[in-house]
Amino acid sequence: MSFLRHCRVATRSISSPRGLLFSASATTPLILRGPTAYRAYSTQTEKKSRGGALIALTALAVGAGAGYYFFSSDFSTAKFSPVSPKPPVHGELNYQKVYNQIADILEDNDWDDGSLGPIFTRLAWHASGTYDKATNTGGSNGATMRFAPESEHAANAGLSVARAKLEPIKAANPEITYSDLWSLAGVVSIQEMGGPTIPWIPGRRDAEAIAATPDGRLPDATLGSKHLRDIFYRMGFDDREIVALSGAHALGRCHPKNSGFDGPWTTSPTLVTNGYFKELLEKKWVEKKWKGPKQYVDKETGDLMMLPTDFVLLQDKSFRPWVEKYAADEKLWFNDFASAFHKLQELGVPRNGSEKVYHFKRTDEQQ
């Protein structure tokens, strides 16, 4: 949610204090929210009604240009071809069934706060957030995080857990690519944790290690607004979308052994709400006195935290108005977040405009 450099939740420790987001929470009863319900967890404190329909964003046309890389299993023999291979056939795969299979494994009381939802969201984000519009490289097409060195990038520490948890789903549905599976897991997680409906389109193809992107394309939590713009403008996002995507920090927590940072952003780290923006505006934040990297904690309890990249959303004159709007209007944020997250997941995926767009039913809507 981590968005930004989400906090690593693996057992591996790193020396760099870079990172951000995603963790989860305990048992999962369904809580009614208007005509539907969502999966709730024991750490959640927000129980309120929220807005409904979202605005679906038309898929980005990010054609491959003059050609593309055609990969063999031996990626050292990759060849360049001016003709795209035949895309996979999707008609035989029941994506709602795959959605439900992912939803069934979200609850995991042995994992962090009790849900895999935040780390699946982080996996989907990190698989997409490497896109560079200038070179049309990176993005959700390829799933190159399966390979070193991308799997070993500091920003991706801990995501081996998410990838491993999804392997049984892949085995049960061999037709689905890893690229589609990871992006779909992000959609499932957001919707099942009470967030908006995210439009989703299949058709991503897996690549080999030669297509992996260089380290440093994901945000660094220790830096400021210029860095955020450099990262997100490179992908084609504007200031409004940067703030909207930052709202994913409603999810998860940071862990000292992984990112160096410590604590959750909100009191409901497994519930998608506009609570991140409310906390940012309404609480008094002070710099934490400790031996770790610079971060902020709420003065009242010291239990919640914000990172330097969070705090700049208050300080920057272009970012702050959107923080205020989203804190006041959750439906507005849901709409903008759904559009921005869909856009994020389409980065680097060649489209022709004729693809089917899926709007999945939540598990409680199928009962």
Active site residues: 126, 265
Kindly state the DSSP code that residue 137 receives in the 8-state scheme.
Answer: B
Closest CA to 143 of 95, 102, 179: 179
- Integer Cα distance of 8 and 17 in angstroms: 10
Residue for token pair 């690229």:
179
Residue for token pair 């989860």:
24
- Integer Cα distance of 306 and 339 in angstroms: 25
Residue for token pair 């929470």:
25
Contacts of 198 (CB under 8 A, 6+ apart): 54, 186, 187, 190, 191, 338, 341, 342, 345
What is the CB neighbour count within 10 angstroms for residue 299? 10
- Integer Cα distance of 59 and 290 in angstroms: 45
Phi-psi region of 362 (alpha: psi -120 to 50; beta: other; left: phi over 0): beta
Rounded to 5°, the CA angle 327-59-224 comes to: 45
44 neighbors 271 (Cβ within 8 angstroms): yes
Give CA separation, 121 vs 261, 267, 311, in Å. Answer: 19, 18, 22
Phi-psi region of 91 (alpha: psi -120 to 50; beta: other; left: phi over 0): alpha
Residue type, position 221, single letter? A
